[in-house]
Amino acid sequence: MSKRESQDSGSATPVEPVEPIELVEPVDAEKNIATSPYNGSGTVEDPFIVEFQKDDMSNPMNWGQVRKWFLTAIVTFSVFAVTFTSSAYSVSAGEIMTEFNISSTVFITGVSVFVLGFAIGPAVWGPLVSFAIFAPSELYGRQVPWIISHTAMVAFMAGSAGSKNIATLIVLRFLAGTFGGSPLVNSGGAIADLFPPAQRGLAMTIYCVAPFLGPILGPIVGGFATENIGWRWVQGICTIFIGGCPQIGIIGVIFVPETYGPVLLARKAHALSKADGKVYISVLQKNQGKKQPSEVFGRALIRPWVLLFREPIVLIASLYMAIIYGTVYMFLGAMPIVYNELRGWSPGIGGLSFLGMAVGIIIGLGYAIWDNNGRYMRLDPAKRTAESRLPPAIAGAVALPIGMFAFAWTNYPSIHWSVSIVLSAPFGFGVVLVILPIVNYLIDAYTVYAASVLAAAAVFRSIMGAVFPLFTDQMYHNLGIHWASSIPAFLTLVCMPFPFFMYRYGAVVREKCKYAAEAAAIMKKMQGR
């Protein structure tokens, strides 16, 4: 009996079957089997090789623009919240030093250990992402480490608000920074998962401002909060701010899906194998061969260090960004000396001294967006290279020392306060125009290794960010505010040729870098080319 005849016999009013409903599968496993030709025969000896097909909606790069930008906003907010928290503490010096009877050096350690946690965290969270390629399909990737690390950070920040002594406060801030390191390394990788290089510039531009705008705005909010409700509520506000991030718990599971391509391919292969009964493996699993999980995790754990010290591009770029990052955190200790101590400003008003840099960062963001939508997008796609990202960095490399020297020699108490604050804007402008193109450059050059590359850069710059504040107080009091401010300016002056050199010779250097070439080959295989 046919299907139609069976229905006629069981019902007085025949109903045509609704065929589209029968084609909908939650994981699209059987649909893929029917419509996606994979190389192989489905046996253990010759498994089907799963790779992203053209217009494959399981590939994050094929997701809708609204969904992509929603996820970009979430990961950007998470980084902003973490870095905001790192610096909001810095303007509570008076209250904390008095309550715990400590020196300014011990106090500023609370900033340094938080940023030091940024260095340690990525060394763990980045490898967990890479490990997901070989782990069971439902484990690891970007999503799970994100949610776990954010939740732990909220717990440690809540504890810091109730600290009874300085040791507890410092330890809890260190742990909060360590768990807060996950968004710093995985967020950039997530954006690389979502956007192909030609479309990535704007998203990365907005995202990369967060690690620098956060530390600048933190003291502004923290200063007024300290004056009005006390330092413990500064920590409490940061806890609420981080806890409001939509990546926590159930909300995070729903709205922040897995985006890491190798993990999605492994999951797809696992789902197809269960649905079909044949053997499917992802293209990367085939290329990597059979390896023990411990071997894979160990290799992923050391990969950021290998990239940092064996890839010249990563080392030089990370050093340059580290100097800039260290200078940003140095200002957290320098501004209270220049404006609160020498000019007698209150913590709240003193926090406003960061507005000049904040305005410079926002102007730099606007310029970067204009450059991306104009110059970069007009380039012939066939001629776009990683080096095509670097022209704004050339302008930023010039602006950095100009802004820093201008701030250094106009912050005399005899000169109106507005002059030095306004002239700090070129520094903020330069920060954006150097960091954004370099990060985009590294992601374009290393693609699937982006998390490890960004982890290497994050470790290096976070170490600088942790160390610089420790000697800021002594340096400013021993050398004076002018020469002390000039030292990082000289460092950026030494680094100024780097963007020029990489723009001219970067392609040649990349050809000789093992991991850059390997990443390009992997991306071609993932995309089925």
479 versus 458: which is more confidently predicted?
Answer: 479
Q: What is the mean pLDDT of residues 145-156?
A: 84
Quote the CA–CA distance of 119 and 113 in Å, as a whole number: 10
Compute CA distances 110 → 231, 308, 322, 439, whole Å: 13, 27, 19, 28
Q: Which residues contact 484 (CB under 8 A, 6 or more apart)?
A: 334, 408, 472, 475, 476, 478
What's the mean pLDDT when you consider all of the chain? 81
Q: Is the pLDDT of residue 6 over 60?
A: no
Instruction: Tell me which range, 30-39, 317-326, 455-464, is most confidently predicted by mean pLDDT.
Output: 317-326
Q: Is the pLDDT of residue 27 over 60?
A: no
- Please check whether residue 427 is in contact with residue 399, taking contact to mean a CB–CB distance below 8 angstroms: yes
pLDDT band at 279 (very low <50, low <70, confident <90, very high): confident
Q: Is the pLDDT of residue 361 over 90?
A: yes
78 versus 160: which is more confidently predicted?
Answer: 160
| Cα dihedral value 325, 327, 332, 336, nearest 10 | -170
CATH number for the domain formed by residue range(s) 50-526: 1.20.1250.20
- Gyration radius from the chain CA atoms: 26
DSSP character string of 391-436: HHHHHHHHHHHHHHHHHHTS--TTS-HHHHHHHTHHHHHHHHHHHH
E strand or H helix at 466: helix 450-479
Quote the CA–CA distance of 444 and 453 in Å, as a whole number: 11
Dmax (CA) for the chain in angstroms is: 100
Q: Report pLDDT for 500.
A: 92
Q: Report pLDDT for 29.
A: 45
- Backbone phi, psi, residue 186, to 5°: -85, -25
pLDDT band at 285 (very low <50, low <70, confident <90, very high): low
- Tens digit of pLDDT for each residue in 215-231? 999 999 999 999 899 99
Instruction: Tell me 52's DSSP state.
Output: P
Q: Is the pLDDT of residue 277 over 70?
A: yes
Q: Which residues contact 44 (CB under 8 A, 6 or more apart)?
A: 279
pLDDT band at 264 (very low <50, low <70, confident <90, very high): confident
Q: Is the pLDDT of residue 339 over 50?
A: yes
* Identity at 186, one-letter amino acid code: N
Q: Give the rounded percent of residues in the chain with a pLDDT score beyond 90.
A: 35
The pTM of the full predicted model, rounded to 2 decimals, is 0.77
- Tens digit of pLDDT for each residue in 99-128? 999 998 899 999 999 999 888 876 666 555
Task: State the distance between the two ends of the chain, measured CA to CA, in whole angstroms.
Answer: 47
How big is the CA angle at 263 (ends 301 and 440), to the nearest 5 degrees?
Answer: 70
Choose among 409, 447, 403: nearest CA to 427. Answer: 403
Q: Which of 2-11, 101-110, 170-179, 284-293 has the lowest mean pLDDT?
A: 2-11
- Please check whether residue 421 is in contact with residue 353, taking contact to mean a CB–CB distance below 8 angstroms: yes
